[in-house]
Amino acid sequence: MHPSSDDAPVALCHSRDLVDGGPAQPFDLRYGGQTCRAFAVRYCGQVHAYLNRCSHVAMELDWQPNRFFDDSGQWLLCASHGAAYRPDTGDCAGGPCRGGLIKIVLSEVEGVVFWHPTYLAQPLEF
């Protein structure tokens, strides 16, 4: 089976735009048929992305636009109820969580960060 064009990686941002523990790069996608906001961050040198949806209550996490990390830069926090998630896995690390964050697959090639569509996560134009 040959990959279709809708499975092609989608350029998200320049690698330099994501700093360890710094602001996120937001992006929109269709997840399970619904338009959703997602975000990419850098943690310990690696890029990670998740749907911007707390597992406790389906609300966006950021406490200020594109700000997800706590003051230490070690945890992703939900601004509404204080749920804490591991930046590298999205797993619940404390507070009111019901599971973890939904991960979006990323790669980084030659200074560009890409997200990879899946069966559930598709670009908006599809």
Q: What is the pLDDT of residues 24-50, one digit of tens each?
A: 999 999 998 899 999 999 999 999 999
Q: What is the pLDDT of residues 88-106, one digit of tens each?
A: 999 998 888 878 999 999 9
Quick one: pLDDT band at residue 56, thresholds 50, 70, 90? Answer: low
95-39-87-66 Cα dihedral, nearest 10 degrees: -70
The CATH number that domain 5-122 falls under is 2.102.10.10
Nearest alpha-carbon partner for 40 in 15, 58, 64, 57: 15
Residue-level length of the chain: 126
Quick one: pLDDT band at residue 3, thresholds 50, 70, 90? Answer: very low
Which pTM was predicted?
0.89
Sketch the domain layout of the chain as residue ranges.
5-122
Calpha distance 6→3 (Å, rounded) = 8
Beta carbons within 10 angstroms of residue 35's beta carbon: 9
